[in-house]
């Protein structure tokens, strides 16, 4: 099975302190460390496991610039067969639809049985997967937390829904799935693995290679524009439960039941 995983490089929330810059129109980016968007990493691990069971190959693609190559290399060190950079000046400033358009151009250039995206990028809107499927006219499922290959043409998947429940479905290939974290336990990629892929070739494709009209992507083609960045006003804080230990425990249980944490 030939699998494409669409990945994105984002500032690592664990290792950065996100603050507004001085002019207030963006976050302070000077001292940021970046890594692959976490759900995308889960998606790559899932793809590798599927291929280990059923054969095939895994391609990881990202829409970005040279800086974004590092995540492609990391996923190749993890085991992906090929990394691809989709880069063009025309792509810069793309909204979700623009990114989906670029990815669609790449998908139509090659042939993939299955396309995986992360459910959401840490700094974006959980939309690319669905838009890409619509553009390709492929079936789509979001929040996927388990995948079973039934035969060459179908998958049995489970989606995460409220209350810790799962919705089981069958879906025809080729399709697009957006992957939820926790679907598996991604393997560790060490410095050694990264060094071993340091000199591997990563092809770069621009708008002409993918047959994309620059007017439909980038800032020019964006329907959504960022208006402002601000730190939200602080609310009154957490709810502190009062009473004896038994009373607090009872209230807690009630709350958890009400919110679906207990069955």
Distance CA 42, CA 144 (A): 11
Q: How far is CA 44 from CA 36, 153, 184, 258, in A?
A: 11, 20, 10, 35
Task: Report whether the peptide linkage leading into residue 174 is cis, meaning its omega lies within 30 degrees of zero.
Answer: yes
Residue 175 sits at φ, ψ, to 5 deg, of -145, 175
Out of 169, 196, 208, 241, which residue is the one contacting other proteins (CB under 8 A)? Answer: 196
Is 31 one of the binding residues for other proteins (CB under 8 A)?
A: yes
Is 78 one of the binding residues for other proteins (CB under 8 A)?
A: yes
Q: Which one of 14-22, 61-69, 204-212, 223-231 is the stretch in contact with other proteins (CB under 8 A)?
A: 14-22
Is 56 one of the binding residues for other proteins (CB under 8 A)?
A: no
CB of 195 to other proteins, least distance (A): 7
Size of the site for other proteins (CB under 8 A): 20
Q: Which one of 53-61, 113-121, 189-197, 242-250 is the stretch in contact with other proteins (CB under 8 A)?
A: 189-197
Is 245 one of the binding residues for other proteins (CB under 8 A)?
A: no
Q: How far is CA 104 from CA 39, 57, 129, 202, 251, in A?
A: 20, 19, 11, 19, 50
- Nearest partner of 132 among 186, 160, 174, 162, judged by Cα: 174
Out of 187, 202, 206, 222, which residue is the one contacting other proteins (CB under 8 A)? Answer: 187
Q: Residue 77 or residue 85: which is nearer to other proteins going by CB?
A: 77
Is 12 one of the binding residues for other proteins (CB under 8 A)?
A: yes
Is 231 one of the binding residues for other proteins (CB under 8 A)?
A: no
Q: Which one of 20-28, 92-100, 167-175, 186-194 is the stretch in contact with other proteins (CB under 8 A)?
A: 186-194
Sign of CA dihedral 40, 44, 49, 50: positive
Q: Residue 15 or residue 66: which is nearer to other proteins going by CB?
A: 15
Residue 238 sits at φ, ψ, to 5 deg, of -75, 155
Q: Residue 36 or residue 171: which is nearer to other proteins going by CB?
A: 36
Q: How far is CA 148 from CA 46, 113, 127, 145, in A?
A: 11, 14, 24, 10
CB of 127 to other proteins, least distance (A): 27
Is 185 one of the binding residues for other proteins (CB under 8 A)?
A: yes
CB of 30 to other proteins, least distance (A): 10
Is 2 one of the binding residues for other proteins (CB under 8 A)?
A: no
Q: Which one of 86-94, 145-153, 190-198, 254-262 is the stretch in contact with other proteins (CB under 8 A)?
A: 190-198
Is 35 one of the binding residues for other proteins (CB under 8 A)?
A: yes
Q: How many CA atoms lie within 13 A of 150 on its CB side?
A: 10
189-198's contacts with Cβ under 8 Å and 24+ in sequence apart are 189/74, 189/77, 189/78, 193/77, 193/78, 194/73, 194/74, 194/77, 196/77, 197/73, 197/76, 197/77, 198/73
* 174, 163 Cβ separation under 8 angstroms: no
Residues in contact with other proteins by CB under 8 A are: 12, 14-17, 31, 33, 35, 78, 185-193, 195-196
């Amino acid at each position: 099975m030939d699998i494409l995983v669409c990945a994105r490089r984002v500032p690592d929330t664990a290792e950065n302190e996100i603050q507004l810059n001085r002019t207030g129109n963006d976050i302070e980016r000077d001292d940021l460390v970046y890594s692959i968007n976490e759900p995308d990493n889960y998606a790559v691990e899932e793809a590798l496991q599927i291929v280990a069971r059923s054969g095939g190959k895994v391609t990881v693609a990202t829409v970005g610039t040279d800086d974004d190559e590092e995540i492609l290399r990391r996923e190749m060190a993890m085991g992906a067969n090929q990394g691809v950079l989709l880069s063009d000046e025309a792509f810069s400033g793309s909204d979700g639809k623009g990114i989906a358009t670029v990815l669609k151009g790449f998908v139509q250039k090659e042939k993939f049985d299955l396309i995986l995206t992360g459910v959401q990028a840490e700094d974006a809107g959980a939309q690319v997967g669905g838009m890409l499927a619509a553009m390709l006219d492929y079936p789509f499922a979001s929040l996927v937390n388990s995948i079973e290959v039934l035969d060459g043409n179908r998958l049995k998947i489970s989606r995460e829904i409220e209350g810790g429940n799962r919705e089981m479905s069958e879906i025809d290939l080729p399709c697009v799935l957006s992957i939820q974290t926790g679907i598996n336990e991604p393997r560790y990629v060490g410095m050694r693995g990264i060094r071993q892929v340091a000199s591997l070739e990563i092809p770069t494709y621009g708008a002409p290679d993918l047959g994309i009209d620059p007017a439909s992507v980038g800032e020019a083609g964006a329907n959504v524009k960022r208006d402002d960045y601000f730190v939200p006003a602080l609310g009154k804080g957490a709810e502190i439960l009062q009473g004896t230990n038994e009373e607090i425990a009872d209230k807690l249980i009630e709350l958890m039941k009400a919110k679906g944490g207990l069955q």
